[in-house]
Amino acid sequence: MTQTLHIIGAGLAGSEAAWQAAQAGVPVVLHEMRPKVGTFAHRSGDCAEMVCSNSFRSDDDERNAVGLLHWEMRAAGGLIMQTADRHALPAGGALAVDRDAFSGAVTAALRAHPLISFSEEEVTELPQDGHWIVATGPLTSGNLAESIRTVTGAESLAFFDAIAPIVHAETIDMDIAWRQSRYDKGETEEEQKAYINCPMNREEYEAFIDALLAAEKTEFHEGETAGYFDGCLPIEVMAERGRETLRHGPMKPVGLTNPHDPATKSYAVVQLRRDNALGTLYNIVGFQTKMKYGAQTTVFKMIPGLQNASFARLGGIHRNTFLNSPTLLDDQMRLRQRPNLRFAGQVTGVEGYVESAAMGLLAGRMAAAEIKGQTLPPPSYETAMGALVNHITGGAEAKTFQPMNVNFGLFPPLDAARGGRKGRKDRYKGYTDRAKEQFTAWLAAQA
């Protein structure tokens, strides 16, 4: 038992973890309850089934963080990327696949591997001993989810995430916005300037409310319906309760003075709060929403100071079982209370097919190293994988932690010479050049 790696869930993360560990010479048992126990989203019992889009998004490894993650996974011999490349469809600069052929090929590769065996029984409780990776994703079964909640604490596991949009800090117009905490609260200057504030006059506020109410909204899928709770009502639901509701809620203007125009009192203020330790990402406070993505971009760019905003993530409210990983996982992706358990994939708080598979790749390699009596350090957080694992294991603010796609806002900044909007393409190339060098060195150290 102790020398075998058990993986719960054969989605993208679990499949990649199994492949990496087996390629390292470690026997793997892959536990997948489908098709015996189904979910509302899956159609088959195949591994790595893509239940939403068939796209792995941008394949540009020079100027796109997702494309860089593709590059790193290819360099690490990732099964998911190898299979995606073999079943790619024309998609411009993106990597899209024939989803049925893709999942079928992943399944065939895993079943053919001499060190991988399958168990089709549902795992309902977190195991007390042995080496395990939990990669059950957003559709974790009820019994196992309850076991995770019991072990980690009721406040550490979300079943419906209320996601506020996140903005790249460099795209906020600070000639309009300003830094200030409400009533200048805080003992240090950093605390007193912890928020970025975007002011609205009455006409701007009224136009914003009109656009918010008229915007196209998404609906819950069958099987993920849930009532809202007052702590994270969608902003459009608040607006429906009365046009002044937001102005007396998350957009209240009290305790704030605009240094660009100190004599004029703002009618409403939108606040943004730092979302990562680097200060490169800010979330829009209280702006959970069910608006469709296109509508969000249009409506949120009506906010003064955000007219040129670039979004690292847009908002939403949907079922997505995930841990408050910064409080629970160490940098080996192990549960601190039970270090025999690693977590990987979307359950750790990464968002997206590629990100999930990448966390599976790391978890599989780390678990295999541990079984062989070694310790594999995570890659530098100057790499895409390293930036993601750093984010979920400590780089993010635990109080506001929400699922995140890979993006350059998670990377340490480059030197100032590459700063500014005009130098963005060169700066992104700088990020990817640095990452490739660091990731290559990380792989070489394991050889």
**Residue 36 domain flag:** yes
State whether the Cα torsion 51-322-71-47 is positive or negative. Answer: negative
The strand pairing partners of 271, in sequence order, are: 197
pLDDT value of residue 41: 44
The strand pairing partners of 197, in sequence order, are: 178, 271
14 assigned ligand-binding residue: yes
pLDDT band with cut points at 50, 70 and 90 for residue 27: very high
CATH at 50:
3.50.50.60
Q: How far apart are CA 47 and CA 79, in angstroms?
A: 12
pLDDT of 54 strictly over 80 = no
- Last residue of a domain, which of 291, 312, 333? 312
User: 123 and 179, same structural domain?
Assistant: no
Residue 236 belongs to what domain range?
162-312
Strands lying side by side in the sheet with 281-284:
178-179, 195-200, 268-274, 281-284, 166-168, 311-313
pLDDT of 302 strictly over 90 = yes
pLDDT of 77 strictly over 60 = yes
pLDDT of 110 strictly over 70 = yes
pLDDT band with cut points at 50, 70 and 90 for residue 232: low
10 assigned ligand-binding residue: yes
User: 147 and 33, same structural domain?
Assistant: yes
pLDDT band with cut points at 50, 70 and 90 for residue 352: confident
- In this predicted structure, which of 34-48, 116-130, 212-226, 344-358 has the lowest mean pLDDT? 34-48
- Determine the average pLDDT of the residues in 11-32: 97
pLDDT value of residue 445: 96
Q: Of 153, 116, 109, 105, which Cα lies nearest the Cα of 21?
A: 116
pLDDT of 335 strictly over 50 = yes
Reported as a single tens digit per residue, the pLDDT across 244-270 is 999 999 999 999 999 999 999 999 999
pLDDT band with cut points at 50, 70 and 90 for residue 119: very high
- Determine the average pLDDT of the residues in 125-130: 92
User: 210 and 147, same structural domain?
Assistant: no
pLDDT value of residue 225: 42
pLDDT of 424 strictly over 80 = no
Question: What region, left, alpha or beta, does residue 352 occupy, with left being phi > 0 and alpha being psi -120 to 50 degrees?
Answer: left
Residue the block writes with tokens 């992943």: 106
CATH at 188:
2.40.30
**Residue 441 domain flag:** yes
pLDDT value of residue 318: 59
Angle 315-353-168 from CA coordinates, rounded to 5°: 40
pLDDT value of residue 121: 86
- Last residue of a domain, which of 256, 277, 312? 312
pLDDT value of residue 416: 60
Per-residue tokens: 352: 């997206």
State whether the Cα torsion 287-267-297-175 is positive or negative. Answer: negative
Q: Of 440, 342, 433, 434, which Cα lies nearest the Cα of 392?
A: 342
pLDDT value of residue 435: 98
pLDDT of 42 strictly over 60 = no
User: 139 and 170, same structural domain?
Assistant: no
Which residues, other chains included, contact 93 with Cβ-Cβ below 8 Å and sequence gap of 6+? 58, 59, 60
Which residues, other chains included, contact 423 with Cβ-Cβ below 8 Å and sequence gap of 6+? none
pLDDT of 39 strictly over 80 = no
Look at 147 and 2; give whichever has higher pLDDT.
147
pLDDT value of residue 37: 57
- In this predicted structure, which of 76-80, 183-187, 226-230 has the lowest mean pLDDT? 226-230
- In this predicted structure, which of 56-65, 74-83, 217-226 has the lowest mean pLDDT? 217-226
Task: State CA 445 to chain mean position distance.
Answer: 28
394 assigned ligand-binding residue: no
Look at 148 and 224; give whichever has higher pLDDT.
148
Question: What region, left, alpha or beta, does residue 198 occupy, with left being phi > 0 and alpha being psi -120 to 50 degrees?
Answer: beta
Q: How far apart are CA 212 and CA 406, in angstroms?
A: 28
Which residues, other chains included, contact 4 with Cβ-Cβ below 8 Å and sequence gap of 6+? 26, 27, 28, 29, 130, 131
User: 356 and 440, same structural domain?
Assistant: yes
What does each C-alpha distance from 123 to 8, 13, 135, 325 come to in angstroms? 7, 17, 12, 21
User: 169 and 152, same structural domain?
Assistant: no
Q: Provide the whole-model pTM.
A: 0.72
User: 278 and 383, same structural domain?
Assistant: no
pLDDT value of residue 228: 46
- In this predicted structure, which of 87-96, 246-255, 430-439 has the lowest mean pLDDT? 87-96
12 assigned ligand-binding residue: yes
pLDDT of 224 strictly over 50 = no
- Is there a contact between 348 and 360 (Cβ–Cβ < 8 Å)? no
User: 173 and 247, same structural domain?
Assistant: yes
- Determine the average pLDDT of the residues in 316-333: 83
**Residue 317 domain flag:** no
**Residue 328 domain flag:** yes
User: 280 and 206, same structural domain?
Assistant: yes
pLDDT band with cut points at 50, 70 and 90 for residue 324: confident
pLDDT band with cut points at 50, 70 and 90 for residue 122: confident
User: 299 and 195, same structural domain?
Assistant: yes
What does each C-alpha distance from 194 to 182, 197, 249, 265, 413 come to in angstroms? 9, 10, 19, 20, 19
223 assigned ligand-binding residue: no
User: 402 and 270, same structural domain?
Assistant: no
pLDDT band with cut points at 50, 70 and 90 for residue 175: very high
Q: How far apart are CA 350 and CA 334, in angstroms?
A: 16
Angle, helices 12-23/353-371, rounded to nearest 10 degrees: 30
Of these ranges, 152-156, 290-294, 408-412, the one predicted with the greatest mean pLDDT is 408-412
Angle, helices 293-300/202-214, rounded to nearest 10 degrees: 170
User: 267 and 187, same structural domain?
Assistant: yes
pLDDT of 311 strictly over 60 = yes
**Residue 318 domain flag:** no
Which amino acid appears at position 159 of this protein? F
pLDDT band with cut points at 50, 70 and 90 for residue 327: very high
Total structural domains within the chain: 2
- Last residue of a domain, which of 258, 292, 312? 312
User: In whole numbers, what is the pLDDT of the chain averaged over residues?
Assistant: 87
